[in-house]
């Protein structure tokens, strides 16, 4: 053997030993039981179907939202959970009313354009102002001419326009709205990225509170046509809307399995149960939340009792600003249990995963070791491994407190469902049963492995470590825009 080959072979041997040291021999039997149980008896697809047909959308604060909370609670109770509770929290609820948007070359001569209100727009608004093209709506677009949008309506592409400067950030719609407001805009018109006139909703607020300007979304084709017209001359837009906003009570649904030998350490696994109201929210986030509910069923059915406590959480209010997960973390800080949370696994539109993700590099050996067992059971699971972090889902409040987060990786949405994200076409017919089973199978294996591991090398970050982690993952700018950057440089 050549020296280089010998060294490589030795390295792989050490890696194999490291992976073996992070896993337990009995996990092979446990994972095989999980595989068999979910393959034969999964209820994820069927329970989502029933919810979609009998409840519809699951908007936080609405009657449908309350029905969804009760549906999840009753489902978990039927599976045999006795350690089960609602965790109520007060939330400023928002729901849409009527909207009318027109565009034309003068203030008076205008035509209707199909649109939808973005959440947390004002309760009542009417503007009839000049429409100006602000490109991608990132800071550089405003710095080029800081007064361009002042007193006007900003037209902004939701993603990143073709031929944009390399490195242009893809900000969240709420961050783009915050920037437009910062530079004096009196209205916001976002161009959806999906083709064929699909309309997208979602919050335009970085705080979950009402924004001061009306914000709407128009279809890709209509929006790009407006950009072409603006390149030739002025346009004006008349936006009128009314909406509802008020304080209501919502409830996270929490089911707990106490740990066998380390009950004071906790693994939280969750997905947001709520959805927007344009459709049934089958993809966002039915496929994630109902998969987590079936992971809970699987644990109870197989009497799985790992070393650490496992908490299954159906979060409400994610769509309106991570309200349920923020409330959960706030309570954990208040009752001093935040340090007991060793990992948070988040399933938000996760579907048919091929591997696992984590925010913590030092979890690599444990997580890929778990994945190796899963791959031996089913080779369609390729055991890809991804390290990184992102915002705007229920992992965020945990991550900002230094808690390691993770979940599934790879895969892809069924039936080209991506364009229906937050849109009026997010319906149950897009869901595919086998992919949900795979989410449940491999998610249950990951959950059990982390909860039962002899050692979890990933510790909570200190405040300074959290700061450096966020900077490394390019999250400082969006957090500053959102007003959530708590560090003073």
190-194, 231-235, 256-260, 316-320, range with the lowest pLDDT? 316-320
Judgement on whether residues 211 and 285 belong to the same structural domain of the protein: no
Judgement on whether residues 115 and 64 belong to the same structural domain of the protein: no
- The percentage of the chain sitting over the pLDDT mark of 70, rounded to a whole number, equals 96
Rounded Cα distance, 436 and 294, in Å: 10
Q: Which of 190, 218, 243 is the last residue of a domain?
A: 243
Length of the chain: 489
52 inside domain: yes
Q: Which of 243, 277, 292 is the last residue of a domain?
A: 243
Q: How confident is the model at residue 16 (pLDDT cuts 50, 70, 90)?
A: very low
Pairing between strand 262-272 and 308-315?
A: parallel
Judgement on whether residues 37 and 117 belong to the same structural domain of the protein: no
| Token pair recorded at residue 451 | 């909860």
Rounded Cα distance, 291 and 305, in Å: 19
253 inside domain: no
Judgement on whether residues 162 and 267 belong to the same structural domain of the protein: no
Judgement on whether residues 301 and 234 belong to the same structural domain of the protein: no
Rounded to the nearest 10°, the torsion over CA 452, 454, 460, 465 is: -130
Judgement on whether residues 270 and 305 belong to the same structural domain of the protein: yes
Judgement on whether residues 274 and 367 belong to the same structural domain of the protein: yes
Q: Could you tell me which residue, 359 or 22, shows the higher pLDDT?
A: 359
250 inside domain: no
Q: Could you list the residue range(s) of the whole structural domain that residue 135 is in?
A: 97-243
Judgement on whether residues 362 and 393 belong to the same structural domain of the protein: yes
The pTM is what?
Answer: 0.89
Q: What does the DSSP assignment read for 134-176?
A: -TT-SHHHHHTSTTTTTTSEEEEESS--TTPPTT-----HHHH
Closest by CA position to 469, among listed 394, 402, 385, 409:
402
Mean pLDDT of the chain: 94
Sequence-ordered list of residues with C-beta below 8 angstroms from that of 472, at least 6 positions apart, any chain: none
Judgement on whether residues 57 and 190 belong to the same structural domain of the protein: no
Assign residue 235 the CATH number of its domain.
3.50.30.30
Judgement on whether residues 117 and 177 belong to the same structural domain of the protein: yes
477 inside domain: no
Q: Can you tell me the mean pLDDT for 456-482?
A: 95
4 inside domain: no
Closest by CA position to 53, among listed 41, 68, 66:
68
350-372 burial code (b ≥16 CB/10 A, e <16): bbbbbbbbbbbeebbbbbbbbbb
Sequence-ordered list of residues with C-beta below 8 angstroms from that of 194, at least 6 positions apart, any chain: 200, 220, 418, 419, 420, 421, 423
262-303 residue pLDDT tens: 999 999 999 999 999 999 999 999 999 999 999 999 999 999
Q: Can you tell me the mean pLDDT for 413-435?
A: 96
Q: How many domains does the chain have?
A: 2
Asked if 221 and 197 touch (Cβ cutoff 8 Å), the reply is yes
Q: Which of 220, 243, 266 is the last residue of a domain?
A: 243
Assign residue 298 the CATH number of its domain.
3.40.630.10
| pLDDT at 18 > cutoff 50 | no
300 inside domain: yes
φ and ψ of 301, to 5 deg: -60, -40
Judgement on whether residues 288 and 430 belong to the same structural domain of the protein: yes
Residues pairing with 246 in the sheet: 93
Judgement on whether residues 292 and 212 belong to the same structural domain of the protein: no
368-393 residue pLDDT tens: 999 999 999 999 999 999 999 999 99
19 inside domain: no
The pLDDT value given to residue 270: 98
Rounded Cα distance, 353 and 412, in Å: 8
Q: Can you tell me the mean pLDDT for 72-96?
A: 94
63-72 residue pLDDT tens: 999 999 999 9
368 inside domain: yes
C-alpha distance from residue 269 to each of 63, 210, 247, 253, 314 (Å): 26, 30, 27, 12, 9
19-59 residue pLDDT tens: 456 899 999 999 999 999 999 999 999 999 999 999 999 99
């Amino acid at each position: 053997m050549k020296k280089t080959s010998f060294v490589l072979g030795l390295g792989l041997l050490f890696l194999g030993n490291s992976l073996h040291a992070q896993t337990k021999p009995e996990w092979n039997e446990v994972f095989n039981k999980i595989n068999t149980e979910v393959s034969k008896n999964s209820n994820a697809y069927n329970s989502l179907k029933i919810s979609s047909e009998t409840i519809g959308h699951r908007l936080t604060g609405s009657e449908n939202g309350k029905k969804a909370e009760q549906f999840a609670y009753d489902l978990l109770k039927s599976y045999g959970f006795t350690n089960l509770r609602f965790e109520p929290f007060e939330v400023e609820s928002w729901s849409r009313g009527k909207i009318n948007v027109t565009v034309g070359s003068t203030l008076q001569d205008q035509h209707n354009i199909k649109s939808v209100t973005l959440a947390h727009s004002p309760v009542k608004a009417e503007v009839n102002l000049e429409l100006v093209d602000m490109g991608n709506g990132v800071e550089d677009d405003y710095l080029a001419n800081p007064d361009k949008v002042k007193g006007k309506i900003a037209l902004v592409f939701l993603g990143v326009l073709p031929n944009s400067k390399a490195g242009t950030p893809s900000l969240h719609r709420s961050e783009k709205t915050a920037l437009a407001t910062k530079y004096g805009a009196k209205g916001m018109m976002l161009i959806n990225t999906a083709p064929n006139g699909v309309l997208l909703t979602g919050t335009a607020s970085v705080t979950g509170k009402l924004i001061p300007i009306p914000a709407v979304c128009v279809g890709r084709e209509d929006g790009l046509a407006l950009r072409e017209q603006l390149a030739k001359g002025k346009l004006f837009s008349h936006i009128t809307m009314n909406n509802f906003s008020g304080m209501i009570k919502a409830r996270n649904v929490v089911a707990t399995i106490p740990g066998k030998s380390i009950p004071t350490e906790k693994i939280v696994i969750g997905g947001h149960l709520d959805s927007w109201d344009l459709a049934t929210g089958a993809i966002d986030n039915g496929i994630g939340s109902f998969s987590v509910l079936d992971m809970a069923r699987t644990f109870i059915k197989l009497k799985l009792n790992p070393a650490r406590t496992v908490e299954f959480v159906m979060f409400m209010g994610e769509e309106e600003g991570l309200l349920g997960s923020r409330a959960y973390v706030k309570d954990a800080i208040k009752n001093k249990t935040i340090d007991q949370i060793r990992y948070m696994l988040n399933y938000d539109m996760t579907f048919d995963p091929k591997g696992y993700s984590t925010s913590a590099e030092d979890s690599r050996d444990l997580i890929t070791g778990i994945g190796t067992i899963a791959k031996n059971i089913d080779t369609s699971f390729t055991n890809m491994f991804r390290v990184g972090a992102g915002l705007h889902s229920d992992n965020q409040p945990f991550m900002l407190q230094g808690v390691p987060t993770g979940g599934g990786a790879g895969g892809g949405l069924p039936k080209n469902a991506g364009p229906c994200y937050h849109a009026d076409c997010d319906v149950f017919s897009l869901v595919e049963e086998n992919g949900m089973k795979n989410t449940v199978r491999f998610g249950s294996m990951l959950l059990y492995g982390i909860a039962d591991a002899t050692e979890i090398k990933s510790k909570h970050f200190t405040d300074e470590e959290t700061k450096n982690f966020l900077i490394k993952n390019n999250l400082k700018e969006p957090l500053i825009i959102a007003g959530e950057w708590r560090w003073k440089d």
